[in-house]
Structure 1
């Protein structure tokens, strides 16, 4: 999917769905954002760039860490997500949001002290070019911290709904996991090489085994899985009706049973956490 196609997808299709499910997704992915922010070492007074900021939750969190003397700027290609980000953070200080493609956006040199991203960098047509361009907007020695999905087999948040949807609804056309998409940056050695080629230094890749924490019981999480991810793709591809969705929800409820805990649904995940710096 080209950058232009990604923009169309996140504006016309995915953006409105993510806005509707923002609170649920933020709670599900909260452990990931905690790790990204922890590795970013944001200081009071820092100017933070948030790539693929979506509806602005990660940007607002970065702004709080930067304090009254700092700021955070969220960059995303989706008008729908940015409109919600601006509305939901209208009274928060130190926040700005820009519609743009990080691969080609004309950054002002030395504008930011740090860059973060929670699952916002896996969709570039040219990852090396994108990070080289992002680095052009960072000051010398700036810290980058971002998360991507790890190995496919270690992420049942995707594999479980995909397998169940295939059985209940049907098999959707296969996609290339190396193409822009959720798992495009699962190969840590490949990503490290791309960051090095983009001119970044002190590059580190960590594997984080953690639990995703979606809110609600199995029935509520099953509905979320039908709105975002492989199950939703199957429903859309086959133009499924309400009865089809109901059958899929029932099957997903059963599939979530192994992930039920006294603290709620906990879905194990493997996350890649990357850190790097611009040359100082």
Structure 2
């Protein structure tokens, strides 16, 4: 193991308005393919009705927004919110011809919308990155009508997500990675459901209904070969930056270990399939 330590900032890598947004855009087909089944489960649970007005929080490239717009129909409306100008540009391009769908590039924690409150808010992994989640969710609450509803997909704890734990295990064999504060903004910031309940209650939401979603996800997208998945992980995830900054020899050695890991999980015709766990959460405003 190298003595170089990765900083918490390297591990988070969550500058969604800048670097992380550009990374997501550069690998968007792989990212979207990897989490598509989770998005489908979230949308099925949300069950948007025709005519409803919906916010897609952290809309990314807009695929979820497009699905929401189809469900809401011509009498409904969907607003996609994301802090990344690069991803919003792609979302707008994809939405050409959809009159009931628009996008705003803004920080949902502080933005003030100039239109009436919405019926629904949906977010597939877009709600865990706020620096001050209590204030952010209070702002989200103001965007909804009384009795409106939020539906969120959030990652369960890393220990329940072997896809992340095993990737981190590879990285930690090569660089010293300290354990971050579990509530630090990032993918797993809402793993503690009591913390999430407290945030929602302070924002004015009712007690949430929460159910687990467990399964597998294809690292690098469906059908990706182990080589593809390894290159994807190193190019797009925060561990890749920490390993790259430790030097080319460390990076090459870590890639070999990732390749071996992903080869063990590879299934012909499906890709690199690794276990995951997500919480699907619904709450009334």
TM-score w.r.t. the length of structure 2 is 0.87
- Residue number in structure 2 paired with 1:182: 187
Does the 8 Å contact 1:47/1:113 carry over to 2? yes
- Residue number in structure 2 paired with 1:235: 243
- Residue number in structure 1 paired with 2:271: 264
Alpha-carbon spacing, 1:138–1:109, altered in 2? closer, same or farther (3 Å) = farther
Deviations 1:53-74 (A, max 9, x none): 1121211121111122222111
The equivalent position to 1:198 in structure 2, one of 197, 203, 207, is 203
- After superposing on structure 2, the runs of 4+ consecutive aligned residues of structure 1 that deviate more than 3 Å are 243-247
- Residue number in structure 2 paired with 1:3: none
Q: Please state how far the C-alpha of 1:221 moved relative to its aligned partner.
A: 1.2
Q: Please state how far the C-alpha of 1:78 moved relative to its aligned partner.
A: 1.2
Distance in structure 2 (CA, Å) of the matches to 1:7 and 1:255:
23
- Residue number in structure 2 paired with 1:275: 282
The equivalent position to 2:253 in structure 1, one of 247, 254, 265, is 247
- Residue number in structure 1 paired with 2:91: 85
Q: Please state how far the C-alpha of 1:220 moved relative to its aligned partner.
A: 1.1
Distance in structure 2 (CA, Å) of the matches to 1:236 and 1:80:
24
Q: Please state how far the C-alpha of 1:128 moved relative to its aligned partner.
A: 2.0
Does the 8 Å contact 1:76/1:82 carry over to 2? yes
What SS is found at the alignment partner of 1:9? coil
Deviations 1:126-174 (A, max 9, x none): 2122112111111222121001110111112222122112224x22454
Pick which of 158-167 and 244-253 moved more. 244-253
Does the 8 Å contact 1:110/1:140 carry over to 2? no
Q: Please state how far the C-alpha of 1:109 moved relative to its aligned partner.
A: 6.7
The equivalent position to 1:209 in structure 2, one of 197, 208, 214, is 214
1:162 aligns with 2:165: no
- Residue number in structure 2 paired with 1:136: 142
Does the 8 Å contact 1:132/1:199 carry over to 2? yes
TM-score w.r.t. the length of structure 1 is 0.88
What SS is found at the alignment partner of 1:123? coil
Please give the root-mean-square deviation of Cα atoms over the aligned residues, in Å: 2.1
Deviations 1:164-199 (A, max 9, x none): 12224x224543221111111001122112212211
Distance in structure 2 (CA, Å) of the matches to 1:201 and 1:173:
36
Q: Please state how far the C-alpha of 1:8 moved relative to its aligned partner.
A: 8.6
Distance in structure 2 (CA, Å) of the matches to 1:108 and 1:128:
22
Deviations 1:176-232 (A, max 9, x none): 221111111001122112212211125112222121132212111111111222432
Pick which of 126-135 and 259-268 moved more. 259-268
Q: How does 1:17-36 map to 2 (within 5 A)?
A: 17-36=23-42
Pick which of 205-214 and 36-45 moved more. 205-214
Structure 2 alignment gaps of length 5 or more: 1-11
Does the 8 Å contact 1:50/1:116 carry over to 2? yes
Aligned residues: 270
Distance in structure 1 (CA, Å) of the matches to 2:14 and 2:238:
19
